[in-house]
A = this chain, B = another copy of it.
């Protein structure tokens, strides 16, 4: 079996004694993530992942452990990638109103993306999964939710300090509302609500959080 990705050669660095891996774990994990993200933990078989990655099951076990461990690592990679791709949007030097709109629109783009239709937010899906009763996944998901709240909270706190929000603004409260927007975007995207019906929600959130000013 051969990994189904571009002909990237696995980094030869740090190779040990035996036969070298014929695949990049990062790539395989990304491909596994795609399947779990579409179908969820229970409905995804290791054969599905084997097909998606081009690896056979023993290689998957050798590299990642059992199905549960693989899911946790795939979800971990999702969080890492999402954090990396959103960080510049949060750090941008733009008016709050513009920045918030860009962030929410990027989230909607992400949730509507997918090879076989919209997939929503992997964190929301993981919370909905039956595996949420697993303590390790529960920890990851809780952290993800809190992290989103905190990241929005910092954004609004800084905006208030910069005079973009009234002094009376409660940054944690605004952050919870932004997170709520994220969650409703995910639910509606996954439910295949047409994009045109979802986009007004972004307007709602921007107006509610930043005020009904012009522009």
Contact = CB atoms under 8 A, between A and B. Distances in A.
A6 interface: no
A187 B127 contact: yes
A72 interface: no
A91 interface: no
* Majority-rule SS of A interface residues: helix
Given A39-B130, A117-B133, A128-B120, A176 B204 contact: yes
A71 B190 CA distance: 19
Contact of A43 (B127, B130, B145): B130
Interface string A118-158: 00100011011110110000100110010000000000000
A191 interface: yes
A180 B201 contact: yes
Nearest to A181: B180
Contacts of A173: 200, 204
Interface string A36-65: 001111110000000000000000000000
